[in-house]
Amino acid sequence: SAVISQKPSRDICQRGTSLTIQCQVDSQVTMMFWYRQQPGQSLTLIATANQGSEATYESGFVIDKFPISRPNLTFSTLTVSNMSPEDSSIYLCSGGSAGAAYGYTFGSGTRLTVV
């Protein structure tokens, strides 16, 4: 299965600023996703990152707040824009190929604290 690297692993940011998180996969994958995991909570899907086109966002998440890029089959970025303390969470990248028997692999996450 694919190996996913995320960076930064953690960051402390000032409110009103933006942070871009990078996700690198060691092999080509058809599907890439971005999740948010608030403290002590489960994973909530932010969006599906589509290669070469606009991401598909879940209800409650918008492109202006969470712009996503996916220029190829191994790389994606998520930007958390105009941050507020409520954006403090772990952000996780996931990837895999549709229909694969091994499910989707996750990165180790980016722990974001907004002060």
Partner 1 sequence: GQQLNQSPQSMFIQEGEDVSMNCTSSSIFNTWLWYKQDPGEGPVLLIALYKAGELTSNGRLTAQFGITRKDSFLNISASIPSDVGIYFCAGQVGFGNEKLTFGTGTRLTIIP
Binding region for partner 1 (CB under 8 A): 1, 4, 31, 33, 41-45, 48, 58-60, 92, 94, 98-99, 101-109, 111
- Of 15 and 61, CB closest to partner 1: 61
- Helix, strand or coil, per DSSP, at residue 86: helix
- Of 66 and 109, CB closest to partner 1: 109
- Of 89 and 94, CB closest to partner 1: 94
Residues 6+ apart with CB under 8 A from 62: none
The minimum distance between CB 100 and partner 1, in angstroms, equals 9
Greatest CA separation for the chain: 42
- Helix, strand or coil, per DSSP, at residue 107: coil
| CA–CA dist 58, 32 (Å, integer) | 14
- Of 14 and 39, CB closest to partner 1: 39
The minimum distance between CB 109 and partner 1, in angstroms, equals 5
Beta partners for 92? 35
Q: Which among 67, 66, 112 is positioned nearest to 89, based on CA atoms? A: 112
